[in-house]
């Protein structure tokens, strides 16, 4: 038998030996995935794949090796004419198939259902699986080595190494667990550890699978504690779905009025605006653009990085090289646009060089890069309870009557709702929302309430912009009722019959992935140069 034949033979044998373990692990992984899913039409988050199943993968791999390693003197395989590499590869393949397989299949299915193209979903899943494999390999190696050492020291070493790898991963870029998953995981692992300790106390310390369970419980407890729910931050990003692209749509130069006090203007900077769109986003998803960089290359090979001073009005001032933008990708279009405003000193200087004919001053190439985060929607609905009892501790969405009932506290866009006035009716308390990764985006109308008969809807119209509400939950959001009342009346009373049977909907956005995209802006740069040059010539001729 050659190596591959021996590997296939060994895999068949090991698979038969571990068939119940494999089936059990697959069921467990899928169960975790299903439990964490929502009853709504959307798919569950990637939490099982990213966290719990990851821990299980690492530990499962160690368990496979520890169960019957070649180094064990009385092991069945000792002395058998099978290469150690074959045995190790077989154990690894089974560990991955039993634990990573179901998780990867689930993640792939979710991505596909998420309207990610098949190729992209496969690539993402394969990349994650490859990464998991790389993480598992050293743990398995160490576990096998530790078993040859024998005794508590060796197993302790294996546990520490496995815990170290898992912790490193979790501290790296893993998301926090949901509140439910965290509680369930803590209870389950604590119970498992307690059972193992009970066995130990009664001097019936189980060997083999019992030791593995103790390892699993200990490591699970450590890792789950590390994944305690916390506030969602911008760093909570998942592996990216591929297939997104950044496309430069159009360009406008000199849109901004020159301000003599503007340091960029004093330096001769030329403001220009790029319209950029993101293509390939899943329908209904939010694409968040972050950390945008523009690099321009001169003919002499030197690179200049212009300043990005403003983007879509969210950030102003001296924000160099980074901004954040959010927008909706309508389901039918799956694309959106991004407006970037740049006042580019280096570009302007380069243009001047070009106009003046200095060698080396011409810009030849430009690259715009950005991190794109895809956020998929999930709609949470809560029916209003009895007036005055809207705040329900522990619920994901807590609603309480608006504290400010004076009314007319908002600035409404009169062009759109002429004749309408607003009444504050309720406040959405987001403090209980961060139990799940994701956030409520308040810059778009993503939350609304409707009366029991479904005829009257109330939209979110007020946002406290003193904070970055999209990423810092716990902010009160005021709902306004739009009526045709001629006067700005007071807000609805807490016992207003409107609330009876009314429902509150919040479209929550969950992370769907992050990826870095780049776009070639060379043509845009050429147009900038030529248009600025022509403007300069016109000015000179005048």
Partner 1 sequence: MNPDPTPAVAVRGLTVRFGRVRALDDVTLSVPTGAFFALLGPNGAGKSTLLRCLVGAIPVAPGTVSLLGHDVARLPLSVRQRLSYVAEGQRLPHDLTVRHLERYLAPLYPSWDAAVSARLLERFGVPSARRTGAMSRGQRMLVALWSALAARPALLLLDEPFTGLDVAVKDRLVDGLLETLAEGGLSVLACTHDVAEVELLADWLGVLRDGRVMHAAPLERLREEAAARLGGSPVTLKALYLDLTKAPSGAETQGAA
Question: Interface residues with partner 1 (CB under 8 A)?
Answer: 1, 9, 12-13, 16-17, 20, 68, 70-76, 78-83
Q: To the nearest whole angstrom, how small is the minimum distance from the Cβ of residue 220 to partner 1?
A: 26
Q: How far is the CB of 75 from partner 1 (least distance, A)?
A: 6
Least distance (Å) between residue 9 CB and partner 1: 6
- Closest to partner 1 by CB, 82 or 157: 82
| Complex with partner 1: residue 208 or 474, whichever CB lies closer | 208
C-alpha closest to that of 511 among 144, 235, 275: 235
To the nearest whole angstrom, how small is the minimum distance from the Cβ of residue 68 to partner 1?
7
Residue closer to partner 1, measured from CB, 147 or 344: 147
Residue 13 beta carbon to partner 1: minimum distance, rounded to whole angstroms: 4
Helix intervals (H) in 245-344 = 263-266
Q: What element of type H or E holds 400?
A: strand 398-401
What's the rounded Cα separation, in Å, for the pair 83 and 77? 10
Q: How far apart are CA 176 and CA 22, in angstroms?
A: 27
Q: How far is the CB of 192 from partner 1 (least distance, A)?
A: 22
Two structure tokens written together for 255 = 């849109």
DSSP assignment of 488-504: --PPPPTT-GGGTT-EE
Tell the smallest beta-carbon distance from residue 81 to partner 1 (Å): 4
* Of residues 85 and 406, the one with the C-beta less far from partner 1: 85
Distances (CA, A) of 365 to 251, 321, 409: 16, 18, 50
Closest CB 305 distance from partner 1, rounded Å = 58
CB of 92 to partner 1, least distance (A): 19
Residue nearer to partner 1 on the CB measure, 86 or 478: 86
Q: Which residues pair with 458 in a beta bridge?
A: 449
- Give whichever of 16 and 414 is closer to partner 1, judged by the CB atom: 16
Complex with partner 1: residue 148 or 534, whichever CB lies closer: 148
CB of 27 to partner 1, least distance (A): 18
For partner 1, the closer of residues 8 and 392 by Cβ is 8
Q: If DSSP codes are grouped into helix, strand and coil, which group holds residue 389?
A: coil
Q: Which is nearer to partner 1, 206 or 385 (CB)?
A: 206
Q: How far is the CB of 202 from partner 1 (least distance, A)?
A: 23
79/313 with CB nearer partner 1: 79
Do 166 and 55 form a contact (C-beta atoms < 8 A)? Answer: yes
- Closer to partner 1 by Cβ: residue 71 or 342: 71
Q: Which two tokens stand for residue 98?
A: 């039993």
**18 — phi, psi (to 5°)?**
-105, 25
| CA-closest candidate to residue 496, choices 409, 434, 426 | 426
Backbone angles phi, psi at 15, to 5 degrees: -65, -40
Q: Are 228 and 176 in contact (CB under 8 A)?
A: yes
Q: Where are the alpha helices (DSSP H) in 36-117?
A: 47, 53-67, 84-95, 101-113
- Fill in the DSSP letter of residue 310: B
Structure tokens at 302: 């030197």
Residues 6+ apart with CB under 8 A from 260: 266
Torsion over CA of 352, 353, 357 and 361, rounded to 10 degrees? -140
Q: 72 vs 273, which CB is nearer to partner 1? A: 72
Interatomic CA distance for residues 375 and 131, integer angstroms: 23
Centroid of chain to Cα 297: 32
For residue 323, give the nearest of 360, 285, 294 by alpha carbon: 294
The tokens describing 177, both together, are: 């667990």
Contact (Cβ atoms closer than 8 angstroms) between residue 143 and residue 211: no
Between 76 and 205, CB nearer to partner 1: 76
Residues 380/304, Cβ–Cβ less than 8 Å: no
- Closest Cα partner for 314 from 107, 468, 439? 468
| Region of residue 507 (phi > 0: left; psi between -120 and 50: alpha; otherwise: beta) | beta
Q: Tokens at residue 463, please?
A: 């946002």
C-beta atoms surrounding 255 within 10 Å: 9
């Amino acid at each position: 038998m050659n190596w591959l034949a021996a590997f296939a033979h060994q895999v068949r044998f090991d698979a038969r030996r571990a068939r119940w373990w494999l089936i059990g692990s697959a069921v467990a992984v899928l169960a975790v995935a299903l439990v964490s899913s929502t009853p709504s039409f959307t798919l569950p988050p990637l939490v099982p794949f990213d966290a719990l199943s990851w821990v299980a993968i690492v530990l499962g791999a160690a368990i496979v090796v520890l169960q019957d390693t070649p180094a064990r003197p009385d092991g069945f395989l000792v002395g058998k004419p099978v290469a150690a590499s074959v045995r190790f590869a077989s154990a690894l393949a089974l560990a991955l198939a039993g634990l990573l397989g179901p998780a990867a299949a689930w993640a792939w299915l979710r991505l596909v259902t998420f309207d990610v193209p098949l190729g992209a979903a496969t690539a993402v899943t394969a990349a994650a699986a490859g990464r998991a494999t790389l993480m598992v390999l050293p743990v398995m190696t160490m576990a096998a080595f530790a078993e040859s050492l024998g005794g508590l020291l060796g197993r302790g070493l294996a546990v520490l190494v496995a815990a170290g790898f898992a912790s490193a991963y979790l501290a790296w870029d893993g998301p926090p667990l949901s509140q439910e998953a965290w509680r369930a995981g803590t209870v389950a692992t604590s119970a498992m550890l307690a059972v193992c300790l009970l066995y130990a106390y009664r001097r019936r310390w189980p060997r083999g699978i019992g030791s593995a369970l103790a390892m699993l419980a200990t490591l699970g407890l450590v890792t789950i504690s590390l994944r305690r729910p916390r506030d969602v931050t911008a760093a909570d990003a998942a592996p990216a779905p591929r297939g997104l692209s950044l496309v430069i749509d159009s360009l406008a130069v000199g849109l901004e009025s020159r301000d003599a006090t503007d340091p960029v203007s004093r330096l001769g900077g030329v403001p220009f605006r790029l319209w950029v769109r993101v293509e390939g986003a899943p329908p209904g998803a939010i694409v968040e653009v972050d950390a945008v960089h523009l690099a321009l290359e001169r003919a002499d090979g030197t690179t200049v990085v212009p300043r990005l001073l403003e983007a879509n009005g969210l950030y102003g001032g001296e924000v160099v090289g980074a901004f954040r933008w959010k927008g909706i990708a309508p389901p039918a279009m799956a694309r959106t646009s991004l407006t970037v405003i740049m006042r580019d000193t280096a570009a302007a200087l380069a243009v001047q060089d070009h106009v003046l004919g200095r060698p080396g001053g011409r810009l030849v190439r430009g690259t715009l890069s950005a991190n794109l985060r895809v956020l998929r929607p999930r709609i949470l609905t809560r029916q209003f309870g009895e007036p005055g009892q809207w705040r329900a501790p522990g619920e994901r969405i807590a609603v309480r009557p608006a504290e400010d009932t004076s009314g007319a506290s908002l600035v409404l866009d009169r062009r759109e709702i002429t004749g309408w006035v607003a009444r504050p009716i309720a406040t959405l308390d987001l403090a209980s929302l961060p139990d799940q990764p994701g956030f409520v985006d308040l810059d778009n109308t993503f939350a609304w309430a409707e009366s029991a008969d479904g005829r009257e809807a109330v939209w979110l119209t007020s946002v406290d912009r003193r904070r970055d509400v999209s990423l810092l939950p716990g902010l009160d959001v005021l709902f306004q009722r739009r009526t045709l009342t001629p006067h700005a009346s007071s807000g609805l009373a807490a016992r207003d019959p409107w609330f009876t049977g009314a429902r509150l909907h919040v479209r929550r956005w969950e992370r769907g992935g992050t990826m870095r995209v780049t776009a070639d802006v060379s043509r845009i740069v050429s147009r900038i140069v030529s248009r600025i040059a022509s403007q300069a010539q016109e000015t000179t001729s005048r």
